[in-house]
Amino acid sequence: MTTRRKFLTTAAAGAAAAPLAAPAIAQGTIQWRMQTYAGPALAEHVIKPAIDSFNKIAGDRMQIELFFADQLVPTGELFRAMQNGTIDAVQSDDDSMASPTEVTVFGGYFPFASRYSLDVPVLFNQYGLNEIWDAEYSAVGVKHLSAGAWDPCHFATKDPIRSLEDLKGKRVFTFPTAGRFLTQFGVVPVTLPWEDIEVAVQTGELDGIAWSGITEDYTVGWADVTNYFLTNNISGAWAGSFFANMESYNALPDDLKELLKVCMDQSHYYRQWWYWGGEANLRVNGTKLELTSIPDAEWQQVEDAALKFWDEIAAESETKAKVVEIFKQYNADMVKAGRPYRYG
């Protein structure tokens, strides 16, 4: 019989040999580490339900351990960490994770590339963006798994924005490409870790945020430190994706790849209704942010500037030109289609 002393000695030796072993996971279970761009409160909606479902169904065959914004590596280093296998998968936009591809600039909020959240999956699945993204990421050893839409991009600010003049000098947390575009209107883009934003607004380091719609402002606490919400937006939906280390993905059996796809699709669907309903509900019933607007005629200057910005980006490479041409064709088709696809 095994004595208690012998058992403890053997267990201690085993623990020393495999310090990362997880007792709750069966031997032979495939284990992935995934990091999202989102902090804990936001991740409860944009990713955690899908990962919980995957883990429940996959059981002892595979488990994905989910990490939130900046927990393992800073968001700007997500691509490199995934590429070299430090983490197996990522949920982010291309822009925020600084991927070294020709399509990086189009991730997150590319100005006025979309008007509604459904535009994003249609662009990827029916207008050819999936194929372009797949080629770009395959070339750098990363699997582009699935793209989907999030919320529109609005300003949440401490002081009211009622004209373009009010934007001048405002220090704003936003995405790299959105910040590059907005500088022409006097906005000062500021890059900070996601979890530092609320305090930065409180201390005056930031004047506002152009990183989300009103649903996120309430969900993550930004509505508690800002006072106004600008109803004009610079894009109708954030474009983000799931990515994986190519070797980790290729090692999965086909049925687990399929399960991963189904759970990602469920995540996209959840976000479609959560954001769509939340954006309207909080504008109508929210009590923390006063709504402001810039007149349509004045805001048209921003929309016109976006088209010039598109052409500037298209001139940078053949691949970028191809993506911009798809955006132009898609938006032209939507205008011709009329209601409910485009109004005016």
pLDDT score at 194: 84
Cis peptide before 340 (omega within 30 of 0): yes
pLDDT score at 75: 93
52 found inside a domain: yes
Q: At what angle do helices 254-285 and 48-58 cross, to 10 degrees?
A: 150
- pLDDT for 108-136, tens place per residue? 999 999 999 999 999 999 999 999 999 99
pLDDT score at 343: 78
Residue 178 sits in the same domain as residue 223: yes
Residue 263 sits in the same domain as residue 193: no
Residue 202 sits in the same domain as residue 274: no
pLDDT score at 13: 45
Residue 294 sits in the same domain as residue 271: no
Question: Distance of alpha carbon 336 from its chain centroid, rounded?
Answer: 30
Residue 268 sits in the same domain as residue 216: no
pLDDT score at 73: 96
pLDDT score at 18: 42
Residue 128 sits in the same domain as residue 91: yes
For residue 163, give the CATH number of its domain. Answer: 3.40.190.170
301 found inside a domain: yes
Instruction: Enumerate the H helices of the chain as residue ranges.
Output: 4-17, 40-46, 48-58, 78-83, 119-126, 129-138, 176-182, 197-203, 214-219, 246-250, 254-285, 296-314, 318-337
Contact status, residue 157 vs residue 226, Cβ threshold 8 Å: yes
Rounded to an integer, what distance in angstroms lies between the CA atom of residue 16 and that of residue 137? 38
Indicate the residue type of 287. Answer: T
Residue 208 sits in the same domain as residue 90: no
pLDDT score at 1: 34
Residue 313 sits in the same domain as residue 275: no
pLDDT score at 24: 56
Residue 85 sits in the same domain as residue 218: no
Burial of residue 291, with CB atoms counted within 10 A of its CB: 0-12 exposed, 13-18 middle, 19 or more buried: middle
pLDDT score at 120: 98
The count of residues in the chain is 344
- The domain tally of the chain equals 2
pLDDT score at 344: 61
Residue 124 sits in the same domain as residue 171: no
Residue 56 sits in the same domain as residue 96: yes
Q: Which residues of the chain have pLDDT under 70?
A: 1-26, 344
3-state secondary structure string across 69-80: CCCCCCHHHHHH
Residue 166 sits in the same domain as residue 275: no
Among 261, 129, 302, 277, CA closest to 213: 277
202 found inside a domain: yes
Average pLDDT, rounded, for the chain: 92
318 found inside a domain: yes
Rounded to an integer, what distance in angstroms lies between the CA atom of residue 105 and that of residue 108? 8
Range(s) of the domain holding residue 273: 29-150+238-279
